[in-house]
Structure 1
Amino acid sequence: MSSHGSLIAHLDMDAFYASVELLRYPELRGQPVVIGGGSDAAPIVQPDGTRVYKRLRDYVGRGVVTTSTYEARALGVFSAMGIMKAARLAPDAVLLPTDFTAYRHYSGLFKSAVATIAPEIENRGIDEIYIDLNAYKDDAQGIARRIKQAVHEATGLSCSIGLAPNKLLAKICSDLEKPNGLTILTAAEIPTRIWPLSVKKINGIGPKAAAKLATLNIHTIAELAACDAGVLQENFGRSYSAWLMRVAQGIDERQIVTYSEPKSVSRETTFERDLHARQDRAELSALFTHLCERVAGDLVRKNVVGRTVGIKLRYTDFSIVTRDSTLEWPTDDPIAIRQAAGECLRRVPLDRRFRLLGVRIGSLSPKDATAMRPAEQQRLFES
């Protein structure tokens, strides 16, 4: 492997949003809890100080699950699922509103705690990071345990860490012993510990790709590694099939990137089933709005605004179409992003089903007075 001798850690916070909420509502520990409601999903405080929580069975709307506790996941409720569908699976689950301000706060706490021990960090989102541990090879397990303890002391939350020769394997490992796991993998252990796993464990193989692989009788990473290259190319195209062959062998040449100026922010989701713009309009509308809100949240977290809004669709035949639109003024407003993304969506063919939808915003700039609309600047001077 080209990454032989390297040591990379992937740290993933355990059910992050839900765990933050459990700090606020500890009486809900051990119960199925779903995060994703609006402000009306906030619990009602009784005169005696007790709380009355909203339940999924009472929800009516088009919202989407942001995340869920492990107890809710055991009932089949996962992120990006429509809340109405989740209610059918877990009607007695508690529904709570999202609070991205709190999640960003705890995100900053855990990342700062890690940086005091191992500062070479690649930020991969609000709840996960890669860590370069090449300087700590002599005591990798000890360092990982120190990091886990530091995260818990700083936040009260648990995390799972995977240690491996590269990013691909580290990310797989961090998910193997959740929650509060620590998994260490060497390159020599790939055949015995990685190959028996489902292909779904590889980040980048979504539900539809896994289903298509299943039609080729490929269910495990070992079966993918043994598959004929020509068969993969015939079914997935040259680029994606080449990537499948590499990752099945545990090959990943990506390096830790400790800092980069953000050029764009994007969010995308692969559907549980192929959707049609007209026949599944309500479900798609909720998912689309959710993606725009998450993009806006990322912009706020990075303290940037953007001007170029784009969308991405992947049809059932894996063909991809994109469209962009440039705003007059930079923004981080989810409503403005949703409106511009909707205009882009109207410029693509919607007469056939598609499997993936993504929203992107580029042309980023720091969020300061110069990036605001003149009217906003005027309000600042008037205040």
Structure 2
Amino acid sequence: MSAAERHIAHLDMDAFYASVELLRYPQLAGQPVVIGGGRRHQPEPQPDGSLRFATLESYVGRGVITTATYAARAFGLHSGMGLMKAAKLAPQTVLLPTDFDEYRRFSRRFKAAVAELAPVIEDRGIDEIYIDLSQIEGVAADHGAAIAAAIKARVKAATGLSCSIGVTPNKLLSKLASELDKPDGLTILREADVESRIWPLPARRINGIGPKAAARLEAECGIRTIGELAAAAPHELIERFGRSYGAWLHAAAHGRDERAVVTEQETTSISRETTFERDLHARRDRALLTPVFTRLCEQLAADLQRHQLEARTIGIKLRYDDFRTLTRVQTLPVATAQPAAIRRAAGECLKRAPLEQRLRLLGVRASSLQPAGTPPPPQPPQTADLFA
């Protein structure tokens, strides 16, 4: 099927964790709120029946923001930011604890609602999916606008939450498009729209261009936007960034992406990773890396449980400040989907990795997957690990 015939959607729930919490606490609607606190930050019932909410003003600790409402984002708060730093920017922002059980419940709801209308789905995590709309009757007439609107309405009815959808000929463009009109957006783009809608965006908006690559593009090539990247000579990008990544940069800037939507039946591994806003040192920035590393392991465990899978092999992925990528894996005696067991195995992998350079990306991966149902793994003796 040619790109012109494909209609791929990317659906992204709007400020998902925060939006779920606002359903529980509607009195916070329109206020700056961040999610990322611990149990001690539960709202406290007052004698008059109201609730007293914790704020960032009194926060002390090493936690990071999991997500922020759009009102909080207006103050510069965003996911991955340390809560202490956020407190300096917006001390009156409400702080709520994370509740992953509730988020997973809403995740299952919205995905089931989408599957009723469009069953070819690639699960990309708790709050986003790709959907292949190409075979749905009538989709070519309006490039997917009607079915995308119907999906948005079905998700709203099933969860009470809004989502944003981008529909384009491929996954790369659809992920970009779903961000253009947030929140509650519906964006249809075709190849002819790339120059006007995509090229003016910062190059870093392309999924796969992190802060370090964006900085190198600007410093070494004077490239700031996707359009400027598209205009760059392919041989220059290959010379500076290597054959594989340089060729990919050129193709991505032109909106080219041949990847298919992969359904969960084809899953052979599951991973979670994050690219840092600034390079972090594994030892000197341990206070920042520790909660990020733990959260990635927890999210990976949640993904496995949602797929009803367990993993025999756990691995880590490190990308250093010079773009070198290193992986380490550990095979477990018994398959698991438990966050503590994944965290321990990933910690063991870290002990076998050089950690003297700064890191720009950290990831965890589960492979050697099998259906859930094996006994839980034995608990090994507690050992200290680098991010403990």
TM-score (norm: length of structure 2): 0.92
Instruction: Output aligned runs, 1:18-29, within 5 Å.
Output: 18-29=18-29
Q: Which SS does the other structure have where 2:331 is aligned? A: strand
Of stretches 300-309 and 223-232 in structure 1, the one that deviates more from structure 2 is 300-309
| 1:138 aligns to 2:136 (yes or no) | no
**Counterpart code for 1:183:** T
Q: Is the 8 A contact 1:309 1:360 kept in 2?
A: yes
What residue is the counterpart of 1:123 in the other structure?
Answer: 123
- Flag as ranges the 4+ runs of structure 1 deviating above 6 A: none
**Counterpart code for 1:349:** P
Alignment partners' CA distance in 2, 1:298 and 1:259: 11
What residue is the counterpart of 2:307 in the other structure?
Answer: 302
What residue is the counterpart of 1:204 in the other structure?
Answer: 208
Alignment partners' CA distance in 2, 1:164 and 1:338: 37
Output one character per residue of 1:134-182: Cα deviation in whole Å (capped at 9) or x when no partner: 2222243222221111111111111111111111111111100000111
TM-score (norm: length of structure 1): 0.93
CA distance 1:188–1:282, change in 2 (3 Å): same
Q: In the comparison of the two structures, how many residue pairs are matched?
A: 374
Q: Is the 8 A contact 1:199 1:221 kept in 2?
A: yes
Output one character per residue of 1:1-41: Cα deviation in whole Å (capped at 9) or x when no partner: 95122111111111111101000000111111111111111
Output one character per residue of 1:301-339: Cα deviation in whole Å (capped at 9) or x when no partner: 222222212111111110111111122222222222222
**Counterpart code for 1:138:** A
What residue is the counterpart of 1:13 in the other structure?
Answer: 13
**1:374 CA drift (Å):** 7.9
What residue is the counterpart of 1:381 in the other structure?
Answer: none
**1:273 CA drift (Å):** 1.1
Q: Which SS does the other structure have where 2:318 is aligned? A: strand
- Partner residue of 1:350 out of 347, 351, 355: 355
| 1:179 aligns to 2:179 (yes or no) | no
CA RMSD of aligned residues (A): 1.8
| 1:293 aligns to 2:288 (yes or no) | no
Alignment partners' CA distance in 2, 1:77 and 1:346: 33
The gaps in structure 1 that reach 5 residues or longer are 376-383
Q: Is the 8 A contact 2:336 2:377 kept in 1?
A: no
The gaps in structure 2 that reach 5 residues or longer are 380-388
Q: Is the 8 A contact 2:5 2:140 kept in 1?
A: no
Instruction: Output aligned runs, 1:98-117, within 5 Å.
Output: 98-117=98-117
What residue is the counterpart of 1:380 in the other structure?
Answer: none
What residue is the counterpart of 1:378 in the other structure?
Answer: none
Alignment partners' CA distance in 1, 2:241 and 2:321: 12
Of stretches 359-368 and 22-31 in structure 1, the one that deviates more from structure 2 is 359-368
CA distance 1:374–1:191, change in 2 (3 Å): closer
Alignment partners' CA distance in 2, 1:326 and 1:258: 26
Q: Which SS does the other structure have where 1:246 is aligned? A: helix
**1:235 CA drift (Å):** 2.2
Alignment partners' CA distance in 2, 1:202 and 1:373: 39
**Counterpart code for 2:184:** N
